[in-house]
Amino acid sequence: MLNKIATLLEMIKFEHTVFALPFAFMGAFLAAGGTPDVRVFILVVIAMVGARTSAMGFNRIVDAGFDRANPRTAQRAIPAGKVSMSEAWILVLIAAAVFFIVAYFLNPLVFMISPLALGLTFVYSLTKRFTWLCHVVLGLALAFSPFGGWIAVTGSIRDYPWYLSFGVMLWVGGFDAVYACLDADYDRSVGLFSLPARFGRKNAFRLAGVFHFFAFVLFVLTGYHCGLNYIYYVGLALAGIALISQHRVVSPGDLSRIQMSFFTMNGVISLVLFTATWLSL
C-alpha cells in the first residue's frame, strides 16, 4: 500500500504543489492583512492539494496514450503499468471530492466557483489537442490560486488585486512554454499543439521571455496596489533574478538543465514572493 501511494504521488508530481500553493497563501495573507485564521489556512492547504491532485491525475489519464508513444514519458506510471486506469480515476474522484467538501466549509462564494476552478484545470489537459494557447490556459487555471486564497478569507471579490492573478497567469504560461520545448518534435509529429511545436523553440523562448517580463510588471503593480513595503520589492527583485536565470541556464539548443529551470527556479519564485509578502505585511 505504501509503495502504491508513493507511486501515485510520483505520478502526479506531488512536490510541484509548491508552484501554486504559495500564491494561494499570498492571496489569503493579503486579504487578511497578515496571517489569516488558522482554520482558513488549513482548509486552503487541503483545498489546494485536493484540486491539484485531481487535476494532475486527470491529466495523466487523458494523456496516457500520448505518454505511452513518447519515449520521454513512456515510463510514467500509467503507460508503464504501475498504476491502472481505475486506480487513477479513484484518485481523481477522491481528490475532487475533498476539494469540493473543503470549499463548502470555507464559504458560499468559494463553493460557488469551485467547479469552475477545477473544471478549468481539466480543460487544460485537453487544450493541446486544438490550440497552442494551452500554456495560457494552464496559467489561467493556476491564477485561481491567489484568487481562491483571497475569497477564502473575505468571502468576497471586493478590492481583489487582479494584477496578481494576471501575473501568475503569464508567469506559468511562460515557464510551461519553455518546458514544452522538450516535446516539440513529438507534439508536431502527432498533431498536438504547443508554442514550440507551432512556432519553433527559439520563438517559444522569446514569447516566454515576453510573458515573464509582463508578469514581473504585474507583480510590481500588485505590491503598489496592496501598499506593501520595501521587503516585498526586495523579494520581488530576487524573484526577478530567478526569472532571468531560468532563461539563461537553458536555451533552444540546450535543454539539458531544464529541470533546474522549470522546477528549482520557479519553486524559488513562488516561495520568495509569498515570504516577501508575508514579511511585508
The pLDDT confidence band at residue 13, using thresholds 50, 70 and 90, is confident
- What backbone torsions phi and psi does residue 9 show, to the nearest 5 degrees? -65, -35
* CA–CA distance, 33 with 37 (Å, rounded to integer): 11
In the prediction, which pLDDT does 16 show?
75
pLDDT in tens, 182-216: 999 999 999 999 999 999 999 999 999 999 999 99
* CA–CA distance, 34 with 199 (Å, rounded to integer): 44
pTM above 0.85, yes or no: yes
In the prediction, which pLDDT does 3 show?
85
In the predicted model, what is the mean pLDDT of residues 16-32?
A: 91
The pLDDT confidence band at residue 7, using thresholds 50, 70 and 90, is confident
Q: Position of cell 505590491?
A: 223
Percent of the chain, pLDDT > 70? 100
Task: Tell me which residue range forms the domain holding 40.
Answer: 2-280
In the predicted structure, residue 5 carries a pLDDT above the cut 90: no
- What backbone torsions phi and psi does residue 81 show, to the nearest 5 degrees? 80, 10
The pLDDT confidence band at residue 15, using thresholds 50, 70 and 90, is confident
In the predicted structure, residue 149 carries a pLDDT above the cut 90: yes
Burial classification of residue 19, based on how many CB atoms lie within 10 Å of its CB (0-12 exposed, 13-18 middle, 19 or more buried)? buried
Among 276, 150, 135, 271, residue whose Cα is nearest residue 212: 135
In the predicted structure, residue 236 carries a pLDDT above the cut 90: yes
- Which cell numbers in the block locate residue 214? 509582463
**Greater pLDDT, 104 or 5:** 104
In the predicted model, what is the mean pLDDT of residues 79-90?
A: 94
Q: What would the DSSP string read from start to end of 144-213?
A: HHHHHHHHHHHSS-TT--HHHHHHHHHHHHHHHHHHGGGGHHHHHHHT---HHHHH-HHHHHHHHHHHHH
Among 168, 269, 172, residue whose Cα is nearest residue 221: 168
The pLDDT confidence band at residue 262, using thresholds 50, 70 and 90, is confident
In the prediction, which pLDDT does 107 show?
96
Q: How many domains is the chain partitioned into structurally?
A: 1
In the prediction, which pLDDT does 56 show?
92
In the prediction, which pLDDT does 159 show?
95
In the predicted model, what is the mean pLDDT of residues 38-64?
A: 95
- What backbone torsions phi and psi does residue 12 show, to the nearest 5 degrees? -95, 5
CATH number reported for the structural domain that contains residue 231 in this entry? 1.10.357.140
pLDDT in tens, 151-183: 999 999 999 999 999 999 999 999 999 999 999
The pLDDT confidence band at residue 80, using thresholds 50, 70 and 90, is very high
